[in-house]
Amino acid sequence: MQIISSPLEMRAACKNYQRGAVQQTIGLVPTMGALHEGHLSLVRASRQHCDRTVASIFVNPLQFGPTEDLARYPRTFQQDCLLLEQEGVDFLFAPSPEDMYPQTTETVVDVPVTGGRLDGASRPGHFRGVATVVAKLFNIVQPDCAFFGEKDAAQVAVLRKMVRDLNFNLNLIVCPTVREPSGLAMSSRNRYLSKQERVEAETLSRSLCLVADVVRQGEHRTQVIREVLRRELAHSGLLKVDYAELVDPRTLETLEENTLPAATLVAVAAWIGTTRLIDNCTLRINEASI
Ligand code: AMP
Distance (Å) from CA 187 to ligand 1 centroid: 7
Stronger pLDDT, 20 or 258, i.e. the higher one: 258
Summarize pLDDT for 184-214 with one digit per residue, the tens.
999 999 999 999 999 999 999 999 999 999 9
**Per-residue pLDDT at 288 exceeds 60:** no
Please report the pLDDT score of residue 237 as a whole number: 85
Q: What is the pLDDT of residue 236?
A: 85
Tell me if 178 sits within 8 A of 37, measured CB to CB.
Answer: yes
| Alpha carbon of 148 to ligand 1 centroid (Å) | 7
The pLDDT score that the predictor gives to residue 22 is 82
Of the pLDDT bands very low, low, confident and very high (cuts 50, 70, 90), residue 124 is very high
User: From atom 6 of ligand 1, which residue's Cα is the shortest distance away?
Assistant: 31
pLDDT tens digits for range 221-246: 999 999 999 999 999 888 999 999 99
Examine the pLDDT at 136 and tell me if it is beyond 70: yes
Tell me how far the alpha carbon of residue 106 lies from the centroid of ligand 1, in angstroms.
28
Q: How far is the C-alpha of 277 from the C-alpha of 177, rounded, in Å? A: 14
DSSP characters over 249-271 = TTT-PBP-SSB--SEEEEEEEEE
Q: What whole-number distance in Å separates Cα of residue 65 and Cα of residue 12?
A: 33
Which whole number is the average pLDDT over 35-52?
98
Express each pLDDT in 144-172 by its tens digit.
999 999 999 999 999 999 999 999 999 99
In the reported structure, the alpha carbon of residue 9 is separated from the centroid of ligand 1 by a whole-number distance in angstroms of 26
Residue nearest to atom 14 of ligand 1 (CA): 149
Per-residue model confidence (pLDDT) at position 287 = 52
Task: Say if ligand 1 is within 6 A of residue 126 CB.
Answer: no
Q: Quick: pLDDT tens for 78-114.
A: 999 999 999 999 999 999 999 999 999 999 999 999 9
Closest CA to 202 of 233, 228, 229, 244: 233
Locate the ligand 1 atom nearest the alpha carbon of residue 188 and give its number: 3
Mean pLDDT lowest for which of 20-29, 55-64, 136-145, 239-248?
A: 20-29
pLDDT level of residue 21 (50, 70, 90 thresholds):
confident
Ligand 1 lined by 185 (C-beta under 6 Å): yes
